[in-house]
Amino acid sequence: MTERFDGRVQFDAIESHAALIEWSRRYCARAIAVHDLDVDLERVDWSVSTRARRRAAAVKSPSVDDAVVGEVREWSPAAWDAIPPSCELSLSWAAFDDFDRSEWRDTLRHELIHVEQFQQFGRTDHGTEFKARAEQLDVAVRCRRFADARYLLRCRDCDSVVARRYRASKLVKQPAEYRSNCCGAPLDCLEQ
């Protein structure tokens, strides 16, 4: 592992989950300051997933009753010690491995918006408030695909791909029971 003179791991030398978390956490701390995000990183747990294929990262949070994005949450001292509960920022190793440094930073800023929303409102989504904040931080609302789907579902009439799936869902197992939006024809499933 290549380290800089200050002991920090260089992005292109990350070879372990611990190094990925360290680099990502340091970047997030800088992004919070630069973009004036209202995020308490001490209330964020970190993990790395080697199984995730559809998401580059995710904020996993406990369910908070009656929480609404846009309505600032007054955290109850009895329930949460008057501060937001911790949430988890789960990073996908496959996405990190496929993305360049710029894309990974964008992914982290995207997830920081989710953390900010959760810590403020007790809930997060990709709605209007998220989109406005994403525009301020110059990040996309959705990340590009970084893994190929295991299954492709095609329209029997025009052969258009109408869906991609990573798991053997009911749609994958019984495609003929569903109809395409393009032609209204049954679907065929092809395994990649």
As assigned by CATH, the class of the 11-136 domain is alpha beta
pLDDT for 59-102, tens place per residue?
999 988 888 999 998 876 665 556 778 999 999 999 998 889 99
Domain with CATH 3.30.2010.10 in the chain: 11-136
- Residue position matching structure tokens 């611990």: 18
Q: What is the pTM of this model?
A: 0.77
Q: Residue 34: which residues within 8 A CB-CB, separation 6 or more? A: none
Element (H, E) at 109: helix 101-121
Inter-residue long-range contacts of 125-134, CB under 8 Å, 24+ positions, other chains counted? 125/69, 127/69, 129/69, 129/70, 130/69, 134/110
**Consecutive 10-residue runs of the chain (192 residues): their mean pLDDT?**
51 89 95 95 95 87 89 73 83 91 94 96 94 95 79 92 86 90 91 82
